[in-house]
Amino acid sequence: MGDLVDRLLAGLPEAAVAVDVDVVAAYAHDMAGFCEAGVAAVVVFPETVEHVQHVMRTATELRVPVVPQGARTGLSGGANAVDGCIVLSMVKMNRILEIDAVNRIAVVQPGVVNAELSRAAAGYGLAYPPDPSSWESCTIGGNIGTGAGGLCCVKYGVTSEYVLGLEVVLADGQLLTTGRRTAKGVAGYDLTRLLVGSEGTLAVVVEAVVALRPAPAPQLALAAEFPSTAAASAAVCSVMASGHVPSLMELMDTTTVRAVNAMAKMGLPESTRALLLVAFDGPAKEAELAAVAELCRAAGASEVVPAEDQAESDMLLEARRLSLPAMERLGTTMIDDVAVPRSRLGEMLDGVEEIAARQRLTIGVVSHAGDGNTHPVVIFDADDPDETARAKASFDEIMALGLDLGGTVTGEHGVGLLKREWLAKELGPVGSALQRQIKAVFDPLGILNPGKAV
């Protein structure tokens, strides 16, 4: 390790290189459970593109693995260290380099926090729509690495739809520029789209050109209570089939609602089997919300409560953002991320309920219902070996259910370590082989985030 550190220090300031045991341990893993983490040799905090290039050249020369990291809010183990690696923490490359209101773009470094970009864009009357639940702490680089989504994807889409161009450092230290700053562009293979969601296995993002949109008006929301998840799912299908485009459509089951109440004392209706939140931000939002209220009642809603003002709407949306933190208070959590066609959302939710009963576990479900992306959260006692085994079994059963319903094993959290085996099942042997070949083109030595995703 001494030679590695010396070589790194030859091109980096001393403050950028950490070998302290406690510091190294603190950067060992992200927020995913059941994912092994190795012991890194060193943690590096680059502040310039040249720093990153020096790290990658050194790693290539010494054949040392490199694990890029953002804020480590990920839920798939994609940022977990491997033994003897360089952990490359990008959090200090955190400048917003440009906001261009005419071309509606921002140029940012990877360590910029999602919410900070949103607030900066708002000063120009613009918005950066992708909004993961962890938006106050997750970074744009991490969002790009995992292809993150968020609560407003049903109308505004996911990260990949907003990344126009990238600057990345390749495994050998070369700097590659992909994409464009223009509104349109189809020159060559779309390497930008390939790199989004690649989880640091192909290159290290050092700069991104992202699209901005005109800032929407504040959302107006309603909450609809349903006696069953099937009825709530029927309402979702009815809303989408009727041509409405809500800015948000989220579902919380009873377990989740009760957990949020226990944590934040929000007074959400605990008698409901499923609570559907729907919001609009367009010029006719009041009329659209009224129409959706009628569709919810027709689908079997026991109660539909429109927010009376902006404060009530914000409260409902905050309740949804608190879902995962609230569930974590109930025990150790294993958070799944399975997306299915909207038309099969009811089957997914009913199937998860059957799995919970069969495995004798509490499983709460929150869902980006408008795009079929479900997050079943398995609660268990990590000190109980039998319960832990049943939690792992339930996780696998949920993954299998999603594939059986024509879905995908991850809608927005990424593959990381947690879902590598399931990715292979989804892609099949031909798809898996092709992905490994692409990896080899970018990273022939296999040093970039080894053991993840592909």
Instruction: Please say if the pLDDT value at position 33 is more than 80.
Output: no
Dist CA 167 CA 204 (whole Å):
8
| Residue 69: pLDDT band with limits 50, 70, 90 | very high
Dist CA 121 CA 90 (whole Å):
22
Q: Provide the pLDDT for residue 60.
A: 98
113-155 pLDDT per residue, tens? 999 999 999 999 999 999 888 889 999 999 999 999 988 899 9
The whole-chain average pLDDT of the chain stands at: 95
Q: What's the mean pLDDT in 276-304?
A: 96
Dist CA 197 CA 224 (whole Å):
34
| Residue 371: pLDDT band with limits 50, 70, 90 | very high
| Residue 416: pLDDT band with limits 50, 70, 90 | very high
List Cβ neighbours of 215 (8 Å cut-off, separation of 6 or more). Answer: 121, 122, 125, 126, 127
Question: Do 366 and 251 contact (CB within 8 A), yes or no?
Answer: yes
Instruction: Please say if the pLDDT value at position 2 is more than 80.
Output: no
Dist CA 449 CA 146 (whole Å):
13
Instruction: Please say if the pLDDT value at position 238 is more than 90.
Output: yes
Q: Provide the pLDDT for residue 135.
A: 87
Burial 317-332 (b: 16+ CB within 10 A, else e): bebbbbbbebbbebbb
Q: Provide the pLDDT for residue 396.
A: 95
Instruction: Please say if the pLDDT value at position 355 is more than 80.
Output: yes
Q: What's the mean pLDDT in 393-412?
A: 96
Q: What's the mean pLDDT in 311-337?
A: 91
Q: Provide the pLDDT for residue 311.
A: 87
| Residue 310: pLDDT band with limits 50, 70, 90 | confident
Share of the chain above pLDDT 90, in %: 91
Q: Provide the pLDDT for residue 298.
A: 98
Closest CA to 377 of 366, 392, 390, 393: 366
